Structure 1
Amino acid sequence: MPRGSGAKRERQYEYIKESAERRGESPRRAGEMAARTVNKERARAGESRSASRTSLRGPKSASQRGGQRSHGGAQGPTKDQLYAEARKRNIEGRSTMTKQQLARALGR
């Protein structure tokens, strides 16, 4: 956590980090995600000295958005996302597979 952040932001950081670790993220990645989220919230609230334009723009803050931009919506990842992952894993026959077949082949 950056110096000068308050107790609220420290609690927020710990909460986000622990939540990410429970979801299976590595401790390093969880800490990075938590720090980025807290820093963005600090920028939006005017608690930091500087803020990037992207930190200040957007429809809502990360906490209000609630994972709206994540890839795991009601229908899960898109067919294109599944296809890209299948391509990385070099799964044969991927070009003719349906979304459900791709998901099955990837073990989802």
Structure 2
Amino acid sequence: MPAGSSPKRERQYEHIKDSELERGASEDRAEEIAARTVNKERARAGEAKTASRSSTEDISSGRRGGMRSGRGSQGPTYDQLYNEARQRNIHGRSDMNKEQLRRALDKEK
């Protein structure tokens, strides 16, 4: 987070980071997603000194709600499925392809 950011943005950053970690993202990836999201919200609210056109004209992060997060028409990504399989301790997951991971996870539900 940039120096001097508001307590609200600090809380928002931590919340997004924790949420991404729960979804199976690595620490670095979770921090990157949280920082990008908070910076975009800062730009939209006029709190940033500079803002790209996509930050101010695109739909808000909250409204978008993960539309572009790999859960679109093709479903979760291989990495998302693999991380979920690891959390559920599914054996043989490293040898599985995306469809096999999906089936194994569906069986475990």
Fold conserved (TM > 0.5)? yes
How many positions carry a matched residue from both structures? 84
Using the size of structure 1 for normalisation, the TM-score is: 0.68
Percent of pairs identical after alignment? Answer: 58
Deviation at 1:75, TM superposition (A): 6.1
Deviation at 1:28, TM superposition (A): 1.1
Aligned to 2:52: 52
Query: Structure 1: 5+ residue runs without aligned partners?
Result: 83-101
Aligned to 2:11: 11
Using the size of structure 2 for normalisation, the TM-score is: 0.67
More helix by share: 2
> Which runs of structure 1 show a deviation greater than 4 angstroms over 4 or more consecutive aligned residues?
none
RMSD: 2.2
Within-5 A mapping of 1:73-84: 73=72, 76=75
3-state DSSP of counterpart to 2:3 = coil
Provide the C-alpha distance between the structure 1 equivalents of 2:70 and 2:21, rounded to a whole number of angstroms. 18
Larger RCO: 1 or 2 (CA < 8 Å, sep 6+): 2
